[in-house]
Amino acid sequence: MSDIEQAYVKHDIENGIATVEFSTPEHNSMPGNILAKLADTITEMGENDEVKVVILKSGGDRTFCAGANFQELISIETREEGLQFFLGFANVINAMRKCPKFIIGRVQGKAVGGGVGLASSVDYCMATKYASIKLSELNLGIGPFTVGPAVQRKIGVSGFSHISINANKFYDPEWAREKGLYTEVFDSTEEMDKAVQELTEELCTFNPVAMAEMKKMYWKGTEDWDKLLHERADISGKLVLSEFTKEKLKDYK
């Protein structure tokens, strides 16, 4: 079975709780087709009247999301291809932003690059003590332009500049909790899953109209993100064609 065949996005709905799970063989790094399916699935859950709250999780027990798929990144030859590549994460972020249901993040392991962007875009994020974060894009000569607005919104300009400049360092989950990315950090996946289940079950007893209005309030000021994230993706799409980045990517072939 090929890596493409092993990659998936799936969802399950039980008692008003929609669990959306994504997975790929390469440390949950995300190719374009999986990002597109994830964005569509989140939108679908937001429109489903049966769903009251959404859990976002990834498969496996080691890495939450290693960011963008490097094989696709290496294959980019034009600026338009670069734009479309980086719009993958932009579309998922915007789908989460627009979803009228609370999205609860379950981060069991490391989050890198776009993975930090996903964790930053949920409404309430729980993690384990193994869920270190890193924004490594600058190391490749690109910079975290597309996920930047989501990360900055969550941890502030200071925190965002901290991790995006020091691009080769992993920051531990407690640092992420103190900055506001994670709400709680647990010693084990089992403890985290128990807390996620308890919270989501409780949310299902609340007024869905009130929660939808609260979500609008939390995301106020992001109404221009369709345009903003498109512009940011275009910047990355241009930079990925630079000689600096092309040389860097040779190490990953």
CATH of the domain at 166: 3.90.226.10
pLDDT, residue 252, reads 76
Question: Does residue 169 lie within any of the structural domains?
Answer: yes
pLDDT, residue 5, reads 56
Question: Does residue 199 lie within any of the structural domains?
Answer: no
> At 146, phi and psi to the nearest 5?
-70, -45
pTM: 0.96
The encoded tokens of residue 2 equal: 């090929």
Question: Does residue 114 lie within any of the structural domains?
Answer: yes
pLDDT, residue 3, reads 44
CA distances from 164 to 16, 17, 60, 80 (A): 37, 34, 26, 25
Identify the H or E element spanning 60. none
pLDDT, residue 1, reads 39
Question: Does residue 196 lie within any of the structural domains?
Answer: no
CA distances from 237 to 88, 144, 170, 204, 218 (A): 12, 12, 25, 41, 30
Domain that holds residue 28: 3-189+204-208+220-252
pLDDT, residue 157, reads 98
Reading the chain (253 residues) residue by residue, the pLDDT tens digits are: 344 458 999 999 999 999 999 999 999 999 999 999 999 999 999 999 999 999 999 999 989 999 999 999 999 999 999 999 999 999 999 999 999 999 999 999 999 999 999 999 999 999 999 999 999 999 999 999 999 999 999 999 999 999 999 999 999 999 999 999 999 999 999 999 999 999 999 999 999 999 999 999 999 999 999 999 999 999 999 999 999 998 988 887 6
Question: Does residue 195 lie within any of the structural domains?
Answer: no
Number of domains in the chain: 1
Question: Does residue 198 lie within any of the structural domains?
Answer: no
Question: Does residue 194 lie within any of the structural domains?
Answer: no
User: In 45-85, at which residue ranges do the beta strands (DSSP E only) sit?
Assistant: 53-58, 63-65
Question: Does residue 137 lie within any of the structural domains?
Answer: yes
User: In the chain, at which residue ranges do the beta strands (DSSP E only) sit?
Assistant: 8-14, 17-23, 53-58, 63-65, 102-107, 110-112, 124-128, 133-134, 184-186
